[in-house]
Amino acid sequence: MYVLAAPCLIDPSLRADGITSDADRAVYARALERCREFEIEVVALPCPETLHLGSPRPPGPLAGRLDTPAFDELLDRLEAGVRGIVAARGPPLCIVGVDSSPCCGATRHYYDDTRRPGRGCWLARFPEIPVVDVAAFSRYRVYLAAPLFSAAERTFNGELASFLRARRFRVYLPQEHGDDGAARGPGALRGLFERLVAALDAADLVVAVIDGADPDSGTAWEMGYAYARNVPVVALRTDFRRVGDGECANLMLECSSAVAGSFDELAALLGALPSKEEV
């Protein structure tokens, strides 16, 4: 099990001068941490920009620098080598790219004086392999917000947590950490609140179950807290009832999150990796 990765995730010095921030380095480190945690081998792609232009080098777009026959010939040779790796090892889980890179951009690339949608010229050579931007790949620590007051709710939450863990997310599920009937005595409430807030603070993502005619109030609070901290929220609503002509749920919940109607839709919104059974 492996991913192909833009080489600057491992060695940021390969990037053009002055464009790598401390925040970028933290994202790269968290992406590599995810791979270590889930025993995903990282296979670095060659860096065609460094091979062609050398290092150090100033930043620049694709147009006027890399749109040349010589660079195309270099990509041809490098592509043959990567395809040899894939043929020998089988397909990777994905390619991890870097936002806006003219070569390794995942969802957009620096073409001229603008950033255009689509892969950079190097990753575009592998259209059959899924690509994930490193920032999205690094967001894997999930806080699962959901009602947990009945056996049915706890069973559903456990199934959802298993679904996410199979796709290599680390999941904090409150019912597994003392948020149950026995822990809700008067003396324990403040400690429980502080533990849950600390878990929210440590999360990269919140997945929130908003089923029901009126979604759970604790879940709504957790969603609002995450939204205020700029933590992405993805809500799961499998309930077919609607609350209005244009709303599937409460307006404030729906507009502060991306809403999925099924586990598969949730996986797509999260940019989930394939499960072990799908590999």
**149 and 89 share a domain?**
no
Residue 163: predicted pLDDT: 94
**39 and 156 share a domain?**
no
**237 and 180 share a domain?**
yes
**178 and 131 share a domain?**
no
What's the number of domains the chain is made of?
Answer: 2
Answer for the pair 95, 45: CB distance below 8 angstroms, yes or no. Answer: yes
Strand ranges in 69-169 using DSSP code E only, listed in sequence order: 95-97, 108-110, 115-117, 131-133, 141-145
**Would you say the C-alpha torsion 43, 49, 51, 56 has a positive or negative sign?**
negative
Residue 215: predicted pLDDT: 85
Residue 232: predicted pLDDT: 93
- Domain end call among 87, 102, 137: 137
**133 and 145 share a domain?**
no
Contacts made by residues 69-73, CB under 8 angstroms, sequence distance 24+: none
Residue 279 falls within a domain, yes or no?
no
Beta bridge partners of 34: none
Check which CATH number belongs to the domain holding 264 and give it. Answer: 3.40.50.450
- Cα–Cα distance, 129 to 59 (Å, whole number): 27
**127 and 198 share a domain?**
no
Q: Give the DSSP H or E segment for 85.
A: helix 69-89
* Domain interval for residue 21: 2-137
- Cα–Cα distance, 74 to 51 (Å, whole number): 9
**78 and 194 share a domain?**
no
Q: Give the contacts of 84 (CB within 8 A, at least 6 positions apart).
A: none
Residue 170 falls within a domain, yes or no?
yes
Residue 190: predicted pLDDT: 81
Residue 214 falls within a domain, yes or no?
yes
**86 and 54 share a domain?**
yes
Residue 178: predicted pLDDT: 74
- Domain end call among 137, 164, 184: 137
**173 and 106 share a domain?**
no
Residues of the chain with pLDDT under 50: none
pTM of the model: 0.84
Residue 110: predicted pLDDT: 84
Q: Give the contacts of 161 (CB within 8 A, at least 6 positions apart).
A: 144, 171, 173, 176
Residue showing tokens 């109030």:
217
**105 and 177 share a domain?**
no
**82 and 168 share a domain?**
no
